[in-house]
């Protein structure tokens, strides 16, 4: 009898341990978001690897994907962003830099995470959902929950999406292994559907797969600031000339008086900080020393906050 009891207790312990290791993340409005000033490097890849099935305690191994860098995404302060008057209810803003500069405006409330606009750079650009916002996820959101949402752009009619919390577990990318990840399937009808992987702490999008586009988009966080707030300085205020360059270049500030404690941070395509240079006055010399030829991203920080971002090419 004692042996049977011991076996039962061991089995119960193993079940409890399994539940603990693969606990179902319940997504709520109290989950913290990324801090303002956080910089993510954007990558894209063709869908040479299947996104895999959903389920409990899944490991999505996407380490074989071959990504190419495509820009940066910076968590911005909506109140000091250029288009807050167009989207005044936004409390989450993403500044996208890839050739030009555009903004995503979202609203996070106790009932859910909604998208108000994407890649917006002025009237007639991007997607404007202010007529009827598009739901990213409801709160609370449990494993296998399904939510149906009707949304509408200002230039079209209503559309319907079905959101399913279809899995949780571990995501493996070529750069990192992420645990405590959950995945949402976004079904837009027919063959148009996406999968989005999120971390829980902070609550942020890691990767998106598009069946229609047959591609992946991946965000790799570069935590170069922990302060809140965003300096409202246009990217045109800070330029590297020449760009590309082979030996050295200059960071030129057209509004140097706005920079009081600035530095230039250069990161490589996988998000590592490879050079940090103090910025004084209107011109700062950048030497190539220690940097191989290739594509980099630069971030000008003022008092620890991101002031401008851009792409840097060394030949």
Measured CA to CA, the distance from residue 165 to residue 24 in angstroms comes to: 11
Give the per-residue SS3 of 236-255.
HHEEEECCCECCEEEEEECC
Exposed, middle or buried, 157 (CB in 10 Å: 0-12/13-18/19+)?
Answer: exposed
Phi, psi of 207 (to 5 degrees): -150, 145
Q: What is the pLDDT of residues 193-246, one digit of tens each?
A: 999 999 998 899 999 999 999 999 988 764 333 333 333 344 456 788 998 999
Confidence of residue 260 (pLDDT cuts 50, 70, 90): low
What is residue 255's predicted lDDT score, i.e. its pLDDT? 61
What is residue 26's predicted lDDT score, i.e. its pLDDT? 96
pTM value is: 0.69
What is residue 306's predicted lDDT score, i.e. its pLDDT? 62
| Bridge partners of residue 218, in order along the sequence | 43, 207
Q: What is the pLDDT of residues 239-249, one digit of tens each?
A: 889 989 999 99
Q: Tokens standing for 259? A: 């920079």
Q: What is the pLDDT of residues 136-194, one digit of tens each?
A: 999 999 999 999 999 999 988 999 999 999 999 989 888 777 888 999 999 999 899 99
b/e code 224-235 from CB counts within 10 Å (16+ = b): bbeeebbbebee
- Looking at the predicted structure, is the pLDDT value of residue 10 above 80? no
What is residue 174's predicted lDDT score, i.e. its pLDDT? 81
Q: Residue 77 carries which DSSP code?
A: -
What's the rounded mean pLDDT across residues 109-120? 97
Q: Name the residue among 71, 75, 40, 77 with its Cα closest to residue 222.
A: 40
What is residue 280's predicted lDDT score, i.e. its pLDDT? 76
Pick from 22-26, 34-38, 173-177, 179-183 the range whose average pLDDT is largest. 179-183
Sign of CA dihedral 164, 165, 167, 173: positive
Q: Name the residue among 53, 44, 80 with its Cα closest to residue 217.
A: 44
Q: What is the mean pLDDT of the chain?
A: 83
CATH 2.60.40.3080 in the chain: give the residue spans: 235-314
- Looking at the predicted structure, is the pLDDT value of residue 128 above 90? yes
Residue with tokens 């009898």: 1
How distant, in Å, are the alpha carbons of 29, 68, 130 from that of 206?
A: 18, 15, 25
Confidence of residue 6 (pLDDT cuts 50, 70, 90): very low
- Looking at the predicted structure, is the pLDDT value of residue 272 above 90? no
What is residue 231's predicted lDDT score, i.e. its pLDDT? 37
Q: Residue 72 carries which DSSP code?
A: E
| Bridge partners of residue 31, in order along the sequence | none
DSSP string, 262-308: EEEEEE-TTS-EEEEEEE-SSEEEEE-TT--SEEEEEEEEETTEEEE
Q: Name the residue among 186, 142, 138, 141 with its Cα closest to residue 162.
A: 186
- Residue 88 vs residue 70, higher pLDDT: 88
Beta strands in 62-213, from DSSP E residues, in sequence order: 68-76, 92-98, 100-108, 112-120, 127-128, 134-138, 146-152, 158-172, 177-187, 193-199, 204-210
What is residue 259's predicted lDDT score, i.e. its pLDDT? 64
Pick from 12-26, 48-62, 163-177, 248-262 the range whose average pLDDT is largest. 48-62
Measured CA to CA, the distance from residue 201 to residue 4 in angstroms comes to: 41
Domain 235-314 has CATH 3.40.640.10: no
Q: Name the residue among 243, 224, 244, 246 with its Cα closest to residue 291.
A: 246
- Looking at the predicted structure, is the pLDDT value of residue 303 above 80? no
What's the rounded mean pLDDT across residues 18-35? 76
What's the rounded mean pLDDT across residues 64-77? 88
Q: Residue 27 carries which DSSP code?
A: B
């Amino acid at each position: 009898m004692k042996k049977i009891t011991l076996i039962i207790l061991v089995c119960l312990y193993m079940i409890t341990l399994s539940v603990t290791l693969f606990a179902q993340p319940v997504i709520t409005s109290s989950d913290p978001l990324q801090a303002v000033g956080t910089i993510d490097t954007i990558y894209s890849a063709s869908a040479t690897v299947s996104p895999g099935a959903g389920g409990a305690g899944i490991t999505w191994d996407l380490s074989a994907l071959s990504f190419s860098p495509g820009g940066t995404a910076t968590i911005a302060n909506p109140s000091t962003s250029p288009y807050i008057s167009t989207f005044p209810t936004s409390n989450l803003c993403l500044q996208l830099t890839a050739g030009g500069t555009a903004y995503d405006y979202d609203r996070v409330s106790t009932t859910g995470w909604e998208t108000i606009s994407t890649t917006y750079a002025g009237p007639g650009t991007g997607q404007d959902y202010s007529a009827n916002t598009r739901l990213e996820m409801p709160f609370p959101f449990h494993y296998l929950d399904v939510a149906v949402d009707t949304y509408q752009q200002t230039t079209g009619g209503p559309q319907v999406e079905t959101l399913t919390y279809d899995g949780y577990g571990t995501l493996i990318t070529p750069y990192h292994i992420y645990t405590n990840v959950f995945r949402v399937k976004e079904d837009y009808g027919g063959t148009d559907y996406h999968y989005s992987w999120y971390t829980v702490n902070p609550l942020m999008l890691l990767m998106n797969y598009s069946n229609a586009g047959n591609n992946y988009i991946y965000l790799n966080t570069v935590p170069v600031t922990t302060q809140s707030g965003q300096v409202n300085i246009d990217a045109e205020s800070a330029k590297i000339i020449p760009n590309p360059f082979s030996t050295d270049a200059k960071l030129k500030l057209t509004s140097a008086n706005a920079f009081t404690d600035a530095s230039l941070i250069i990161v490589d395509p996988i998000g590592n900080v490879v050079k940090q240079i103090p910025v004084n006055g209107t011109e700062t010399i950048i030497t190539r020393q220690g940097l191989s030829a290739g594509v980099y991203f630069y971030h000008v920080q003022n008092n620890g906050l991101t002031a401008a971002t851009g792409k840097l090419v060394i030949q």
